[in-house]
């Protein structure tokens, strides 16, 4: 059997690929676009497998939405993290909207009511240079490298154009111990910081001093206000340069006049700080010890805010009362049935759900509907250009 096949490319699917058929089998094809004819290299094609995977390596009939990628290393056979680089930016947003729509029809039995909005400044930058955080590995020669898609093999990077230019330079100019893991951060307004195998990196070497600086500062400014944050250099922070502002704005608008709010999965307190600074009582729940310590520091001057270090479901099952609105921003897997049950039992009138996975959001939407929470609106935000990921914010209300 040859590993090259010709395929007529069908619709986009969740996960960064399009769907095609070959001799009755479904093939998930990366680096293609709907309507194209391509020659594709099979990357996973077991005889008994129900579906195969392939990379489009030659375009026989191109879609009008195809562009030359500015990051060929993330192309066919390449590293992950830039799988939509061959797609024009407006068509990337259409791709993500199609996935949101399909997820809602399949898993929530209703239409996705909104669109997918661009982050400020992305069109001017052609969708590049947005990442303020990047995780890479060092190859055997100590060069910054990334894993090939669905592979343990690593490839040295000659560019990392999705990263902010300062972050890209800091990474590409450095050499690291072979096989090490590098976390690179470009905090707002500060020089890039690198952490290698958990140890801060300074002047090209590990800084093992017990007091080696680990904190980074972030500043978020939108029309509704401006806030300062500090967090551990390895702590969770929204990765797109504009994501903190876009999401805080979306959350504040949707929470409306609620005076008592839960911020579930709060991280370092991004939403908690903004909500509490407007005079609301906010309880944040975060299970990661370091993130909840950061959140505690970030809210110290806000009397209305309190931080619970613990599991969201356990907290909800403890029976919080008098809650007007719940904001939740769970990990990729979503909240899930038992947490949705526990959330519904709290009795808040409004939920604002920040989601990074369309299928998880759609599944939780169906669960929330079963508890009487109506989806009143939802919007996608293109906070991960060049990748298939999309953030969404949805509002649910119950009488």
Alpha-carbon distance 365 to 10, whole Å? 27
* Position 312 contacts ligand SAM (CB under 6 A): yes
Polymer length in residues for the chain: 399
Shortest gap between Cβ of 353 and ligand SAM (angstroms)? Answer: 11
Shortest gap between Cβ of 154 and ligand SAM (angstroms)? Answer: 26
Enumerate residues 109-168 that contact ligand SAM by CB under 6 A.
none
Rg (CA), the chain: 22
Q: Which of 71, 176, 236, 373 binds ligand SAM (CB under 6 A)?
A: 236
Q: Which stretch binds ligand SAM (CB under 6 A): 34-42, 178-186, 222-230, 231-239?
A: 231-239
Using CB atoms, what's the residue nearest to ligand SAM?
A: 267
Shortest gap between Cβ of 60 and ligand SAM (angstroms)? Answer: 40
Shortest gap between Cβ of 119 and ligand SAM (angstroms)? Answer: 14
150 C-beta neighbours (distance < 10 Å), count = 10
Tokens, residue 190: 């500060």
Annotated catalytic residue: which of 356, 368, 386, 393?
A: 356
Nearer to ligand SAM, 200 or 235 (CB): 235
Q: Which of 311, 337, 338, 347 binds ligand SAM (CB under 6 A)?
A: 311
Cα→Cα distances 275→198, 226, 262, 344, Å:
32, 12, 10, 21
Q: Which residues are annotated as a binding site for S-adenosyl-L-methionine?
A: 238, 265, 286, 329
Alpha-carbon distance 365 to 349, whole Å? 15
* Position 28 contacts ligand SAM (CB under 6 A): no
Shortest gap between Cβ of 66 and ligand SAM (angstroms)? Answer: 32
List for the chain the helix, strand, coil content (%; round to 5): 25, 35, 45
Nearer to ligand SAM, 74 or 352 (CB): 352
Cα–Cα–Cα angle for 215, 331, 146, rounded to 5 degrees: 70
Alpha-carbon distance 186 to 168, whole Å? 10
Compute CA 46 distance to the chain's CA centroid, rounded to the nearest angstrom: 31
203 C-beta neighbours (distance < 10 Å), count = 5
Contacts with ligand SAM by CB under 6 A: the residue count is 18
Enumerate residues 282-301 that contact ligand SAM by CB under 6 A.
285-288, 291
3-state secondary structure of 40: strand
* Position 331 contacts ligand SAM (CB under 6 A): yes
Nearer to ligand SAM, 92 or 272 (CB): 272
Enumerate residues 339-368 that contact ligand SAM by CB under 6 A.
none
Q: Where are the alpha helices (DSSP H) in 89-158?
A: 89-103
Cα→Cα distances 289→42, 48, 263, 333, 363, Å:
43, 45, 16, 20, 29
Nearer to ligand SAM, 31 or 254 (CB): 254
Enumerate residues 238-277 that contact ligand SAM by CB under 6 A.
238, 265-268, 270-271
Q: Which stretch binds ligand SAM (CB under 6 A): 53-61, 191-199, 200-208, 234-242?
A: 234-242
Nearer to ligand SAM, 63 or 266 (CB): 266
Q: Which of 242, 329, 379, 382 binds ligand SAM (CB under 6 A)?
A: 329
Alpha-carbon distance 211 to 192, whole Å? 19
Nearer to ligand SAM, 91 or 276 (CB): 276
Alpha-carbon distance 327 to 291, whole Å? 17
Give the up-direction half-sphere exposure of residue 194: CA atoms within 13 A in the CB hemisphere: 27
Exposed/middle/buried for 36, CB within 10 Å: 0-12, 13-18, 19+? buried
Nearer to ligand SAM, 262 or 268 (CB): 268
Q: Which stretch binds ligand SAM (CB under 6 A): 68-76, 163-171, 279-287, 386-394?
A: 279-287
Residues 6+ apart with CB under 8 A from 171: 134, 136, 144, 157, 160, 163, 182, 184, 192, 194
Q: Is 18 part of the annotated catalytic residue set?
A: no
Shortest gap between Cβ of 306 and ligand SAM (angstroms)? Answer: 15
Shortest gap between Cβ of 13 and ligand SAM (angstroms)? Answer: 23
Residues that bind ligand SAM (CB under 6 A): 236-238, 265-268, 270-271, 285-288, 291, 311-312, 329, 331
Kindly list the catalytic residues. 356
């Amino acid at each position: 059997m040859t590993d090259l096949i010709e395929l007529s490319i069908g619709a986009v699917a969740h996960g960064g690929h399009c769907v095609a058929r070959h001799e009755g089998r479904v093939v998930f094809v990366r680096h293609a676009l709907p309507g194209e004819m391509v020659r594709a290299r099979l990357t996973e094609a077991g005889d008994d497998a129900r579906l195969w995977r392939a990379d489009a390596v030659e375009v026989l009939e191109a879609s009008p939405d195809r562009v030359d990628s500015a990051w060929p290393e993330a192309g066919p056979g390449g590293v992950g993290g830039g799988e939509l680089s061959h797609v024009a930016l407006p068509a990337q947003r259409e791709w993500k909207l199609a996935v949101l729509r399909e997820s809602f029809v399949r898993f929530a039995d209703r239409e996705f009511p909104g669109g997918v909005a661009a982050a400020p400044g992305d069109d001017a930058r052609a969708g590049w240079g947005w990442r303020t955080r990047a995780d890479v590995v060092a190859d055997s020669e100590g060069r910054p490298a990334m894993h090939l898609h669905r592979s343990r093999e690593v490839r040295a990077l000659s560019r990392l154009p999705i990263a902010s230019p300062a972050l890209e330079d800091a990474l590409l100019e450095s050499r690291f111990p072979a096989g090490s893991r590098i976390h690179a951060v470009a905090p707002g307004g500060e020089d890039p910081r690198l952490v290698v195998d958990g140890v801060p990196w300074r002047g090209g070497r590990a800084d093992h001093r017990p007091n080696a600086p680990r904190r980074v500062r972030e500043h978020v400014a939108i029309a509704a206000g401006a806030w300062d944050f500090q967090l551990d250099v390895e702590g969770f922070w929204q990765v797109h340069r504009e994501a903190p502002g876009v999401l805080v704005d979306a959350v504040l608008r949707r929470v409306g006049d609620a005076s008592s709010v839960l911020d579930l999965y709060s991280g370092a307190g991004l939403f908690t700080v903004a909500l509490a600074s407007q005079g609301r009582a906010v309880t944040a729940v975060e299970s990661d010890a370091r993130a909840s310590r950061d959140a505690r520091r970030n809210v110290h001057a806000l009397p209305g805010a309190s931080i619970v270090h613990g599991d969201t479901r356990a907290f909800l099952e403890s029976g919080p009362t008098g809650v007007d609105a719940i904001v939740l921003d769970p990990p990729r897997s979503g909240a899930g049935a038992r947490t949705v049950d526990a959330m519904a039992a709290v009795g808040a009138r409004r939920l604002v759900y920040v989601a990074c996975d369309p299928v998880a959001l759609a599944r939780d939407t169906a669960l929330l509907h079963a508890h009487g929470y109506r989806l009143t609106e939802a919007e996608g935000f293109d906070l991960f250009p060049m990748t298939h990921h999309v953030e969404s914010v949805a509002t649910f209300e119950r009488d």
